[in-house]
Amino acid sequence: MIKNISFINLILLLFGGFLSAQEACPPCEVIANKEMEITLGQKKWPNIKNQKLIKVNSLTPINYGNRLGYRNVKLPKWWLKDNLDPWSDSPYWGEDYVKPNHEFKECVNDSLRWQCGYSYVVKLPDNFKKRNEYPLIIFLHGGVRAKSNTFLNRQKTLDAFNLPADDPSILVAPIRLEWDWDPKKIKDLIVDIKSNLKIDEDRIYLTGLSMGGRGTFIVAASLSDEFAAIMPLSPHHGPFSYVPLAEKVAHIPTWLHHSTNDKTSKFTVAKEMANQLDSINSNFVFNVGENGHSGWNSIYSNPDYMEWLLSWNKKTN
């Protein structure tokens, strides 16, 4: 049989087929639409009746490929470790973690899962009514270490958000596997949420810490008409500077925090960004602290800071 195959086809069989199985077969098969064209969610949402915290995996079947152009970058494959698979149908970690039951094809290389869409947690407000329209806050986490308490701490951060009872909001937290946050994935996430819940499109907010802080700038710069306000905390300076994004977010009310003694994310880069935004953004606040690479829960729990964020409305900005 082999002797009747052409030389070119033999090469494709030996190399192309091997690469397809080993490098081009992540556990998601629905190819994302090109550029920023919306790709709709592929799975039905869980039943939200009488639930305050839900896990949504409707975007995980979507294959976005290597959109951010990673080359020879070793991404930590923490999701392959026991009890750390982020595609669980349960939003809980630690003792309450529920291991997902995947039925991947034989060709799947699960180390490429970072190419798939985000799994995310939705926290609904008290006395949630599906017929009501709510503001939306998207929270971008920082770097993830291969420990379950990372997600327990992440849940503590979500619980720290001091959101006013008289202005209830929906809080959403996607889970990122690659280094940087992807604006297209966030755009699809927002559409997925709006397809299942009533969202006030003039009151969508973005915040994040560390790699999520730089992700806040990256996503807001690309989705420049999406957010009423942003709140980046301790944005990380690498792998490339976020300062060149200043002009693209100059029209968005921005509350930037950074500690002078932060040894993980460079304060000097945040200060450079602050200097630029202060000169071109009329609604810019630079909050300087001395909490090292920490202190974010105290920020999210501060009612004055949350009131600042939620006060912005694209209709009146």
Q: pLDDT by residue (tens digit) across 113-150? A: 999 999 999 999 999 999 999 999 999 999 876 666 78
User: By the 8 A CB rule, do 201 and 133 touch?
Assistant: no
Tokens matching residue 187? 């755009």
User: By the 8 A CB rule, do 204 and 136 touch?
Assistant: yes
Tell me the C-alpha distance between 274 and 279, whole Å: 9
pLDDT of residue 103: 87
CATH of the domain at 274: 3.40.50.1820
Q: Is residue 260 part of a domain?
A: yes
Tell me the C-alpha distance between 142 and 134, whole Å: 26
Q: Is residue 316 part of a domain?
A: no
Name the DSSP letter for residue 298. Answer: H
pLDDT of residue 108: 92
Q: Is residue 315 part of a domain?
A: no
- Residue in the structure block whose two tokens are 């009146």: 316
Q: Is residue 238 part of a domain?
A: yes
pLDDT of residue 146: 63
35 phi-psi bin (left φ>0, alpha ψ -120 to 50, beta other): left
Tell me the C-alpha distance between 290 and 260, whole Å: 6
Q: Is residue 262 part of a domain?
A: yes
pLDDT of residue 7: 39
Q: Is residue 204 part of a domain?
A: yes
Q: What is the domain range of residue 190?
A: 2-310
User: By the 8 A CB rule, do 169 and 183 touch?
Assistant: no
- Residue in the structure block whose two tokens are 């033999």: 10
Q: Is residue 136 part of a domain?
A: yes
Q: How many domains does the chain have?
A: 1
Distance of CA 108 to the CA centre of its chain: 24
Q: For each successive 10 residues of the chain (317 residues), what is the average pLDDT?
A: 39 40 76 94 90 95 85 79 92 91 90 95 95 97 76 92 95 94 97 98 98 97 97 95 97 98 97 97 97 96 97 92
pLDDT of residue 72: 60
